[in-house]
Amino acid sequence: MDKHSILVCMGWEQLEIRLQKCEGWEQIEISLPNCSSLQVISFPVVQLHLNRTAMRASQKDFENAMNQVKLLKKDPGNEVKLKLYSLYKQATEGPCNMPKPGVFDLINKAKWDAWNALGSLPKETARQNYVDLVSSLSSSLESSSQVEPGTDRKSTGYETLMVTSEDGITKIMLNRPTKKNALNVEMYHEIMHALKAASKDDSAITVLTGNGDYYSSGNDLTNFTDIPPGGVEEKAKNGAVLLREFVGCFIDFPKPLIASGQCPALGHLPSPSLGYSIAVYASDRATFHTPFSHLGQSPEGCSSYTFPKIMSPAKATEMLVFGKKLTAGEACAQGLVTEVFPDSTFQKEVWTRLKAFAKLPPNAMRISKEIIRNREKEKLHAVNAEECSVLQGRWLSDECMNAVVNFLSRKSKL
């Protein structure tokens, strides 16, 4: 009998009801064994989803689903991967039977949390949930790639950025919208590469912006999970080296740099880009948030020096120590943002302005920027080095580890 068949007895007759998928529709076949006629009723998949939960996936469905996962073209993301992992373990081994990993073992801890959260869910239900998740995943990933064809796609040789140069303006756009433009290690390197290339190209000005509904969500917290053979100490040391070089690129960038943000900016990219940009344009929808303490971390991007100078020590403390989120209006009033535009006209107004700036004599702009910033350069490099060294210690603290683990496992509790 077919996996999704139900046999119903009607008097002396046995009625077989079979479910099958057909181009986005579930078909119900009703067949009477003694009758040649077959009745087929089609329903959209969504209508039948609830009814299907009552069914049980066979071992073969389960194996097919496992194979389907390997064929997914797009990474479904950590949350989904944790769900798949936990359901797989529950379906094959039953309730979580492993000792809880230590707090520093981030990946295994997140996996353990996800599996443990399934409690005593029966193996058959876990198997069915796994099959259903894979099936919904296949269709949602197919349809989302139709909706946003350009998203997260390789562009101009970059994996995580879209870089264009036109009308005297080089635009560096962070392009991991599905991850809220969190900065993974590759993105750090690509931004540095793009800034170095922009400093030498023909453009007069450079614009930094983000694709999607976040300018950036700061450091990609999964960066903390990829532990090298030298352990967490080596990881922290490498992170400090990378951050110092990254921020150094902003300090040394010779051309006018404009940060253009229509949406929230969180964490760490706002600091270097706010601190060193000639201008920061924001829509009235944007917010600015540096939750360093919440993450057991400390200020970076020279914000410990630039923010108190730009705002005031008291206001900078609220932002950098207490993690107070500022609206674009508040940030503008504090001097962190140059000008705020209505969201509806943001792109038009900002780009009109940028195009006008890009027509100004490039050398004059470069020299003017140099004279404004050069006196501070040495100081900024020293502050950068100190901040990175303090952060290196913070990354090894329980406070930081716990905050990262909390973020990574927050949605894995099913």
Residue ranges binding ligand LQSD347O (CB under 6 A) = 77-79, 179-180, 182, 214, 217-223, 239, 242-243, 266-268, 291-292, 295, 297, 300, 407, 411
Report the phi/psi class of residue 189: left, alpha or beta, with left for phi > 0 and alpha for psi in -120 to 50.
Answer: alpha
Q: How far is the CB of 408 from ligand LQSD347O (least distance, A)?
A: 8
Q: How far is the CB of 369 from ligand LQSD347O (least distance, A)?
A: 25
Q: How far is the CB of 78 from ligand LQSD347O (least distance, A)?
A: 5
Q: How far is the CB of 281 from ligand LQSD347O (least distance, A)?
A: 21
DSSP string, 277-327: -SEEEEETT-EEE--TGGGT----TTHHHHHHHHS-HHHHHHHHTS---EE
Q: How far is the CB of 154 from ligand LQSD347O (least distance, A)?
A: 20
- Closer to ligand LQSD347O by CB, 257 or 295: give it: 295
- Residue 125 and residue 390: Cα distance in Å, rounded? 48
- Closer to ligand LQSD347O by CB, 78 or 206: give it: 78
The pair of three-digit structure tokens given for residue 166, joined into one six-digit string: 């036109």
DSSP string, 211-245: SSS-SB--B-GGGGG---TTHHHHHHHHHHHHHHH
- In three-state form (DSSP H/G/I as H, E/B as E, the rest C), the secondary structure along 318-370 is HHHCCCCCEEHHHHHHCCCCCEEECHHHHHHHHHHHHHHHHCCCHHHHHHHHH
276 by DSSP, 3-state: which? helix
Q: In what side-by-side order are the strands of the sheet with 25-31? A: 5-10, 13-22, 25-31, 38-44
Q: How far is the CB of 315 from ligand LQSD347O (least distance, A)?
A: 19
- Closer to ligand LQSD347O by CB, 169 or 336: give it: 336
212: exposed, middle or buried (Cβ count in 10 Å: 0-12, 13-18, 19+):
buried
List CB contacts of 99: < 8 A, sequence separation 6 or more: none
- Closer to ligand LQSD347O by CB, 189 or 355: give it: 189
- Closer to ligand LQSD347O by CB, 127 or 180: give it: 180
Report the phi/psi class of residue 211: left, alpha or beta, with left for phi > 0 and alpha for psi in -120 to 50.
Answer: beta
- Residue 126 and residue 112: Cα distance in Å, rounded? 16
DSSP string, 378-396: HHHHHHHHHHHHHHHHHTT
Q: How far is the CB of 380 from ligand LQSD347O (least distance, A)?
A: 16
- Residue 5 and residue 16: Cα distance in Å, rounded? 7
- Closer to ligand LQSD347O by CB, 192 or 333: give it: 192
- Residue 186 and residue 199: Cα distance in Å, rounded? 20
Angle in degrees, 0-180, between the axes of helices 106-116 and 78-93, rounded to the nearest 10: 60
- Closer to ligand LQSD347O by CB, 29 or 245: give it: 245
- Closer to ligand LQSD347O by CB, 137 or 169: give it: 137
- Closer to ligand LQSD347O by CB, 31 or 293: give it: 293
Q: How far is the CB of 265 from ligand LQSD347O (least distance, A)?
A: 10
Q: How far is the CB of 156 from ligand LQSD347O (least distance, A)?
A: 24
Radius of gyration for the chain, computed over Cα atoms and rounded to the nearest angstrom: 27
- Closer to ligand LQSD347O by CB, 57 or 401: give it: 401
Q: How far is the CB of 183 from ligand LQSD347O (least distance, A)?
A: 7
